[in-house]
Amino acid sequence: MNEHLRQQLIDTARRMASCGLNRGTAGNLSTRAQENGEPGFLITPTGMAYETLMPDDIVFMNHDGTPSGRRQPSSEWRFHRDIYIARTEAQAILHAHSPFATSLACLRRQIPAFHYMIARFGGDTLRCADYATFGTQALSDAALLALEARRACLLANHGMLVFGNDLPQTLALGIELEELCEQYWRACQLGAPVLLDGDEMAVVIEKFATYGQQKGAR
């Protein structure tokens, strides 16, 4: 059992709550992992408060959807599994019912290029996936479609979904997405935000290819 990775998952899940992304038992978090040489992922269990979690409460799932451990996995395990299979760059996945992302998701709005930081997620919009019942294959299919060429999306009448290179980056992206949703919501209270055009967003997207501390940089 990879106890260190399990504890890192728990610590990150608790930070989701302290950062205001989740309350109670809402949302879920996972990270790509192997156990006994079998590829899969570790995921938070269903219906348990993060502050009560212990490493052996975390569920390992292989890619055929078979869980192992003493707990049942999050009901949303399907979109975690399908993202890991479809997007090899995804190393951790966060789903949250954060206030502003969820508010916009309930309006079924995609977020346009009102701010250049939208490009942080891979494109010039943040899409809103079509509605489907939680925990279903239909929801997973809708999420994958909305995530094409993106690291994040909204889920209609539901919340946010984001993936990253590891747990710390994925949490940071979740916080950043919620902040953008709040900024967009506030700007809309005063009118229609002025949007950046496609040419400018193309420049920004290119610059984000070398944004931050790159491996091997001197």
| Residue, of 25 and 40, whose pLDDT is higher | 40
Q: Which domain holds residue 93?
A: 3-208
DSSP-assigned states of every residue in 87-121? -TT--EEEEE--HHHHHHHHTTPPB-SSSGGGGGG
Residue 71 lies in a domain: yes
Residue 160 lies in a domain: yes
Residue 215 lies in a domain: no
Query: What is the set of active-site residues?
Result: 76
Average pLDDT for the chain: 94
Between CA 144 and CA 22 the distance in angstroms is 22
**Contact between 181 and 106 (Cβ < 8 Å):** no
For residue 123, CA distances in Å to 90, 118, 184, 202, 209 come to 17, 7, 16, 8, 12
- Give me the pLDDT at residue 209, please: 80
Residue 88 lies in a domain: yes
For the chain, the domain total comes to 1
Q: 56-85 pLDDT, tens per residue? A: 999 999 999 999 989 999 999 999 999 999
- Give me the pLDDT at residue 215, please: 52
- Which CATH number characterizes residue 114's domain? 3.40.225.10
Q: pLDDT at residue 217 above 60?
A: no
* CA-CA-CA-CA torsion sign (213, 81, 128, 147): positive
Residue 213 lies in a domain: no
Q: 107-130 pLDDT, tens per residue? A: 999 999 999 999 999 999 999 999
Residue 87 lies in a domain: yes
Residues 6+ apart with CB under 8 A from 73: 43, 44, 45, 46, 59, 61, 67
Please state which of the ranges 22-31, 113-122, 137-146, 165-174 shows the lowest mean pLDDT: 22-31
Residue 218 lies in a domain: no
- Give me the pLDDT at residue 218, please: 39
User: pLDDT confidence of 4, banded at 50, 70, 90?
Assistant: very high
Between CA 218 and CA 216 the distance in angstroms is 6
Q: pLDDT at residue 94 above 50?
A: yes
Percent of the chain clearing pLDDT 70 (strictly above) = 96
Percent of the chain clearing pLDDT 90 (strictly above) = 87
Residue 216 lies in a domain: no
Q: pLDDT at residue 214 above 70?
A: no
